[in-house]
Structures are given as structure tokens and as C-alpha cells.
């Protein structure tokens, strides 16, 4: 005789008051909303210099700045982002994903308020530094929290919401700067942090983080709040528990062997950590050095040079590009729900390369042959094509995969390191952009970015795995097993014909 255990008071309360009133998807969207709005603030930080610098350089500005000071104002935000990523990764591992988000929302609000009250060049730099540090802080926790709280079926689209929010934040910052003074624009940006803070207050802690800390009952309560009580969710949570227990058992075994043989076998030297690390380093480098943030940071100056202020209002052109970026990010959310990571990355890389090289060639003829100067609007078409292709894959995918492909034991440091590397590249691109423009011209700069995009796409073709619709445990296992075992597992699945789950190996093209 089997006696079914009655639900505890907490389980019954959750089932009657939450599950019956809101679907699991609605609760997962609620949990993801806080990190997504925080990511929008990161986009506002990226786009703020494009409206701040022209206002400061205007003849009627009360605060005048030099070209060198303008360069430092633009690059001061990316400068501390790398440090912020490391701190964000460590913070979310020590204090939890939810607590890390609450703290970074406060940091963001302080930075925006400091900017809104700035009356001198050093105070502007201080505000930009704090908001830049907050951008770094939000990088690792946002992707990891969403990945750990969402169903594999919805994980792609919710993670893509981060980059959609970044694009939306850039657009909002430019809109605020178009209609308001930069101090008022900064104050409006700070209001979003209040909303993000309140949303995180009502969201649960990550079940994976609680389980890794040994809080089994709290982890189950959080998981049920997010995912409900259906059989598939129960099975996934049981698999998480089994995986955690197995990992703890392996760690104890390794510790015993280490004490016996004095051999250091750190989890950070295992294949399932090193392969994701290398993959994301390549991905982030390709994304940044294809010039994805140059357009956001130097929008007004770039529009004046590329299309000419006599033919089209540069502010209007900037808003058109921003709107295209937002729509493209929304399309990317839909594509990540239905298309695999590898096909999307390859299509994005090839399209970005063609757009950049094509734009470079056209700009060369436009500046060399007077006949082509009447067709400057075509430059905007090439630029929009570039924004579209880079926005559907190269920009959102590395951020999506940051929260997916690292094992839970190394997810904090791994996401922190890769996000930090991204912002180091970010700073390098923003700081060297004006130098490249002055040295090889805009057409030469776009050619350099196009070549880098081509090389990065070829390398990603070789090493990028497929993670669509796989649980975090399956993704970890595919990196652990390696390429040859992956092919053997796939062949066995095809021959058996009865398996309904994707093969655990890394998806590669022979």
C-alpha cells in the first residue's frame, strides 16, 4: 500500500494562492522583468553619451568641454564595467542572485541621480563611472537569474529580453536627450530603477543557487513558485537535486584524492568550464570588435559624417537607427524561441560582415566620386542593414548563453569573467573608435570591423554549441562529454529511434 504524502502548509499555500491565479509563464515573466528593466538602464548608460556630448559642446552650454574631455566622458562608463562584472559575479555567488539585483538597482539609482545634479566635469565623470560600474554589476546576474528561473522552452526568448531592453534603453536615452536637457534625462532614467527594485522584491531567489547552498526546502518552494506542480516540473526538479547530490559526491571524492595525492583538480580546470569560457570569449570579442557599440556612443557625430547634416537631420537618423535596433531585438526574441543558436549566429555573422564591407566600399566611392554624394541616403540603408544583422544574433546570443552554458558551481565566476572581458573589449572599441575614424577614415574603420566579424564568424562555426530547448543540466553534460562522444550519442539516438530528448553532445557540423 502506497501512502501519498500530504502537501505541507507552504506547498498548499503556494498552490492555492499563486498557481491557481497565475500561470507558470506569467510568474517566470514577472521574475525576469526586474533584470530586464535593469538591463534597460545599461542601455541608457550606453546611449547617454550620444545626447550628453552634443549638449555640452553646444555654444550655449554653461559647461564647456574639450575634445579630450568628451572622449573621457564617453569612455568613462565602459572603463569600470569590467570590474563591475567581476564584482557582480562574486556578489551573486555569495549573497544570491536576488540580493545582487537589489544592490545594483540602488547603485544605478545613485549614479543617475549624481549625473542629474552634476555641475562640473569631475562630477559628470563620477556619475558616468557609477553608472558604468552598475552596468557591469548587472551583466552576470541578469542572464544567470533568468536562465535559472525560466523553463527551457521560454529561456531563449526571456534571455533575449535582456538585449531587447538594452536596445530599448538606448532609444529611451536618445528620446529623453532629444526633448529634455541632459540633467532631466538622467533623472528620468533613475525612475526605472525604482520599478526594477520593486519587481525584484516580489520575485523569488534562484532555485539553483538555493539548492547549491543546501537549502533544499527553500529551493523547492522557489521552484514551485516559478514552475508549478506539473509532472514535467517535478521531474526537472528531481533531476536538479540528483545532479547536485552527484556533484557534491564527486567534490568529496576529488577532495579525498587531492588530500591523498596532493593534486589540484579544481572545477575551474575541467572541460565543462574551460570550453564555455573559450566559446564566450570568442563570441564577445567578435560582437564588440564588429563595432556594435560605436553607433550607440557616437550616433550624432557618425550621422553627420556619414549622411551629411544638409541632407537629413542627424537626430532623426539617430532615432531611426534606434527604432530599427529595438524592432530587431524584438525579432531576435521571436527567433530565439524558434531557431537554434548556431543557425542564428551564422546568419547574423555573415549578414554583419557583408553589411560592414558593403558600407565601407560605398562610403569610399561616396567620398571619392562626386556623383555618389547625392546618394548619401544609401549609407543609412547600409547602416540599418548592419544594425539588423548584428542585432539578431551577434549582440543577443553571447548574453543569452552566459547564463546557460556554465555549470552551476562555476557560473558566478564564469559569467563574471566573460562579461568582464566583454566590457574590456567595449572600452577598447569606444576609446579607439575616434582614432580609427581619424586615421583610416569611416570607410576604413567599417572595413576593419567587417574583417573581424568575418574571422569571428568562421571561428564560431567551429566551436559554438547548440543549447536551444535543453535544460541547464543537459548543457553542462554536453560540454563534459566532448565532440566524439557527442557524435556517438547522437548516432545511438538515431538508431534507437525512441529517444525524445536531444542528444547531450555538442552540436557541431562535420
Q: What are phi and psi of 113, to 5 degrees?
A: -65, -40
**pLDDT at residue 284, rounded to an integer:** 92
**pLDDT at residue 422, rounded to an integer:** 86
**pLDDT at residue 313, rounded to an integer:** 63
Closest CA relative to residue 376, chosen from 324, 306, 424: 306
| 370 alpha-carbon distance from chain centroid | 42
Are 296 and 170 in contact, with CB atoms under 8 Å apart? yes
Instruction: Name the DSSP letter for residue 393.
Output: I
- pLDDT tops 50 at residue 73: yes
Q: Rounded distance, CA 380 to CA 313, Å? A: 12
Residue 206 makes CB contacts below 8 A (sequence gap 6+) with 96, 97, 98, 144, 145, 148, 149, 222
- pLDDT tops 50 at residue 2: no
- In the chain, the percentage of residues whose pLDDT exceeds 90 is 18
Q: Write out pLDDT tens, residues 407-439.
A: 877 877 888 888 888 888 888 887 788 788 888
- Nearest 5 degrees, angle CA 165-CA 171-CA 176? 120
pTM surpassing 0.75?
no
In the structure, how many helices (H) and strands (E) does the chain have? Answer: 21, 0
Mean pLDDT calculated for residue range 356-370: 77
**pLDDT at residue 374, rounded to an integer:** 62
Mean pLDDT calculated for residue range 37-46: 90
Amino acid at each position: 500500500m502506497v501512502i501519498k504524502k500530504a502537501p505541507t502548509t507552504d506547498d498548499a499555500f503556494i498552490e492555492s494562492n499563486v498557481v491557481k491565479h497565475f500561470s507558470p509563464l506569467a510568474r517566470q515573466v514577472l521574475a525576469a522583468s526586474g533584470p530586464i528593466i535593469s538591463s534597460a538602464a545599461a542601455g541608457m548608460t550606453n546611449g547617454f553619451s550620444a545626447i550628453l556630448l552634443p549638449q555640452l559642446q553646444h555654444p550655449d552650454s554653461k559647461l564647456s568641454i574639450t575634445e579630450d574631455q568628451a572622449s573621457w566622458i564617453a569612455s568613462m562608463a565602459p572603463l569600470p564595467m569590467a570590474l563591475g562584472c567581476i564584482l557582480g559575479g562574486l556578489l551573486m555567488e555569495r549573497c544570491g542572485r536576488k540580493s545582487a539585483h537589489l544592490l545594483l538597482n540602488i547603485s544605478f539609482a545613485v549614479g543617475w541621480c549624481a549625473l542629474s545634479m552634476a555641475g562640473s566635469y569631475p562630477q559628470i565623470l563620477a556619475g558616468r563611472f557609477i553608472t558604468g560600474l552598475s552596468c557591469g554589476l548587472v551583466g552576470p546576474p541578469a542572464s544567470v537569474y533568468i536562465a535559472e528561473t525560466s523553463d527551457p522552452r521560454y529561456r531563449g526568448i526571456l534571455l533575449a529580453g535582456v538585449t531587447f531592453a538594452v536596445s530599448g534603453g538606448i532609444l529611451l536615452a536618445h528620446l529623453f536627450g532629444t526633448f529634455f536637457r541632459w540633467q532631466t534625462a538622467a533623472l528620468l532614467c533613475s525612475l526605472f530603477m525604482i520599478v526594477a527594485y520593486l519587481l525584484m522584491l516580489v520575485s523569488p531567489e534562484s532555485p539553483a543557487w538555493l539548492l547549491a547552498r543546501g537549502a533544499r526546502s527553500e529551493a523547492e518552494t522557489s521552484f514551485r513558485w516559478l514552475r508549478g506542480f506539473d509532472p514535467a516540473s517535478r521531474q526537472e526538479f528531481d533531476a536538479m537535486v540528483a545532479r547536485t547530490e552527484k556533484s557534491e559526491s564527486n567534490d568529496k571524492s576529488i577532495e579525498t584524492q587531492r588530500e591523498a595525492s596532493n593534486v589540484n583538480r579544481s572545477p575551474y580546470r575541467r572541460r565543462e568550464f574551460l570550453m564555455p569560457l573559450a566559446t564566450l570569449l570568442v563570441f564577445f570579442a567578435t560582437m564588440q570588435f564588429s563595432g556594435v557599440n560605436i553607433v550607440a556612443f557616437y550616433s550624432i557625430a557618425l550621422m553627420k559624417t556619414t549622411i551629411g547634416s544638409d541632407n537629413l537631420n542627424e537626430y532623426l537618423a539617430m532615432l531611426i537607427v534606434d527604432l530599427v535596433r529595438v524592432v530587431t531585438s524584438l525579432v531576435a526574441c521571436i527567433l530565439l524561441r524558434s531557431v537554434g543558436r548556431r543557425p542564428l549566429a551564422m546568419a547574423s555573422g555573415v549578414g554583419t560582415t557583408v553589411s560592414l564591407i558593403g558600407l565601407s566600399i560605398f562610403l569610399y566611392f561616396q567620398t571619392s566620386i562626386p556623383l555618389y554624394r547625392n546618394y548619401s541616403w544609401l549609407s543609412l540603408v547600409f547602416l540599418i542593414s548592419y544594425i539588423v544583422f548584428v542585432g539578431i544574433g551577434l549582440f543577443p546570443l553571447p548574453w543569452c548563453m552566459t547564463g546557460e552554458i556554465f555549470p552551476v558551481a562555476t557560473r558566478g565566476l564564469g559569467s563574471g569573467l566573460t562579461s568582464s572581458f566583454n566590457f574590456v573589449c567595449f572600452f577598447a572599441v569606444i576609446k579607439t573608435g575616434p582614432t580609427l575614424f581619424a586615421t583610416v577614415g569611416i570607410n576604413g574603420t567599417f572595413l576593419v570591423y567587417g574583417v573581424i566579424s568575418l574571422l569571428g564568424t568562421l571561428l564560431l562555426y567551429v566551436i559554438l554549441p547548440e543549447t536551444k530547448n535543453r535544460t541547464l543540466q543537459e548543457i553542462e553534460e554536453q560540454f563534459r562529454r566532448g565532440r566524439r562522444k557527442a557524435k556517438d550519442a547522437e548516432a545511438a539516438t538515431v538508431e534507437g529511434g525512441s529517444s525524445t530528448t536531444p542528444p547531450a553532445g555538442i552540436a557541431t557540423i562535420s
